[in-house]
Structure 1
Amino acid sequence: MAKQSKSLQNQEAPDKELKKVRDKDEQSLLLFNTEALISHRPDNVEEEIHQLQNGRQFTIKEVKDIISDMAREYSPMFPNSKPFFKLMYKLSGWNHLNPNDFIKPPVVATYIKKYIYARFKKDVLPILLAKDNPLVSGYVRKYKLFQFLNDEGLLLLEQYIQEAIDVMQDAKDWYDFELQYTAKYELSVQLKCLAN
């Protein structure tokens, strides 16, 4: 009986060592060969396609292609000649405020981020917000976000502004605009409970 026990122990020792070697090999494969598990990965990671839950796709290169490193000279993207703010104020019921005033209610900046800049690829707005842009006074920043967009980004911004204006012109009020615009351009909206 003692001979059998000793024989089994002698046999188990090489098996344990073999198992350790196999485990170590498996760990090495997992750590160092994970790329082989991915079906196809582009040579340039910036060109790898990312997909959001809503189906929109983008690449890091596309995001970087519309953002510049330095702020460009100021030239208004929301000039008073465009009815963007007039329509926003009208739909919001802000009849006591002048839409041509340079300083706007703080919620206007929120609306612009939520409905205009949200149209860009997912990573654009966070990158723009992370730019060095100090407060000048109150909630007014030194640069407008669009000053960090390159020419291609500015063209897209102009398009998004015009598309917002087109929807605003058909809306009954600001909430109606939010519903129409977010449905048309697949953006999220906070639904409101309206009291009868």
Structure 2
Amino acid sequence: MPRKPEKIIEPIDADFDDVTKALVTTSVESKIANEGFEKIIHIGELELGDAVVPCYVTETKKRLLSARRMQVALGVTNPTTKSGNQAPGTRLDRFLGQKSLKPLFFMISERTLLEPVRAKYGDQVITGYQAELLPELCEVMLHGRREGLLATERQKTIAAQCEVILPSLAKLGIIALVDEATGYLEAAEREKNEYRELFKEFIRKDAKQYESEFPDELYDVFYKIYGYERISKGRRPLFFAQVTKKYVYDPLAYSNGVILEMLDEKNPMEITVSGKKRRKYKLFQFLEDIGTSALRKHLWKLIGIGEAARNKQEFDRNFDRVFGKQILLPFPYPDEE
């Protein structure tokens, strides 16, 4: 009996790592973890005192200030490398690590603000700090000067520079300044309008007949993570309405709040005769079939996360992994069938 011809799989002319990278897609966060760089999507410049400081907005919405120019604005001089070239931001990094200033730096709201961020704009590598650090740093240095906690002339010089810089930050918040300088707000507004167009098919013109869409298991999760005891099925804590917005409607179909905004427009809050605020319909009554399908999938994912979580911190951490850190997809909801 003749043998059947064997199917020959052609060899792939590539390394194993290259093949796996081509097959597996990664999120923005995992790319940063693998490559060590944020991706810059908007750039601009800020005038702070006598210095012009480049500023950036990254793909993960971090607002950054150039470390090299930030230290110039603060009066922190930079050491040179053996080749005679300045190492970007190294002096500022050392300054933020000074032991004598640790009591002051403990007043900074988040420890991560003191850590440099590496980012790329095209092929150019940028070292920067999150913009929120600058006003807080200025405030703690001026506090240190008032309390006599600055030990060196250099520290006192930096405090004097902080006094020059703070008025520049007082007119607007540092985030607003960076957004204005980089043009990020205009781009974000354009993007938001594009998202609204994308999700138009999710929203009905008129409210459909009421049918319950929220399983009791979802409220079991909310009671569990907030430490409340369920007294009756019908009556729930009023703040659950905000919890539902946060965990259900805001991230629904990875829309980053766009669907919620459109539902709010269709079904706004109204003042009742008794003076209370309430909606005429449930928000989900304005979802088309595709939107209702996405809602159901979302709710059961949420229930799964909640049932596996031991506390709210664990729930939030896992929620962020599934919903909160996603890039907006090119199609509203991935096919999961």
**Could you tell me the TM-score, scaled by structure 2's length?**
0.35
Q: For 1:87-116, what per-residue CA distance to the aligned partner results, in whole angstroms no more than 9, with x for missing partners?
A: 211221111x33612x42222111111111
1:162 aligns with 2:300: yes
Indicate which of 245, 250, 255 corresponds to 1:118: 250
Counterpart secondary structure, 1:185: helix
The amino acid that maps onto 1:98 is I
Unaligned runs of 5+ in 1: 1-50, 53-57, 189-196
Q: Deviations over 1:25-81 (max 9, x none)?
A: xxxxxxxxxxxxxxxxxxxxxxxxxx97xxxxx64433100001101111011143x
Q: Which consecutive unaligned segments of at least 5 residues does structure 2 have? A: 1-186, 189-193, 327-337
Return the alpha-carbon distance in structure 1 between the equivalents of residues 210 and 200 of structure 2.
Answer: 21
| 2:249 is the alignment partner of 1:128 | no
Contact 1:86 1:99 in 2 (8 A): no
The root-mean-square deviation of aligned C-alpha atoms, in Å, is 3.0
Contact 1:77 1:158 in 2 (8 A): yes
Q: Which amino acid aligns with 2:197?
A: K
Instruction: Tell me what 1:46 maps to.
Output: none
SS in structure 2 opposite 1:104?
coil
Between the two proteins, the alignment pairs up a number of residues equal to 133
Asked which structure has the greater CA Rg, the reply is: 1
**Is this contact kept in 2: 1:85–1:100, CA < 8 A?**
no
C-alpha distance in structure 1 between counterparts of 2:246 and 2:318, whole Å = 14
Cα pair distance change 1:183/1:135, threshold 3 Å: farther
1:157 positional shift: 0.4
Alignment of structure 1 residues 1-196 onto 2, 5 Å: 59-80=195-216, 83-95=217-229, 97-98=230-231, 100-101=233-234, 103-120=235-252, 121-122=255-256, 123-133=258-268, 134-135=270-271, 138-187=276-325
> Given the two structures, how large is their TM-score scaled by the length of structure 1?
0.58
Percent identical: 26
Segments of 4+ moved more than 6 angstroms: none
Which letter maps to 1:72? K
**Residues 167 and 139 (structure 1), Cα distance of their counterparts in 2 relative to 1, 3 Å cut:** farther
Contact 2:267 2:283 in 1 (8 A): no
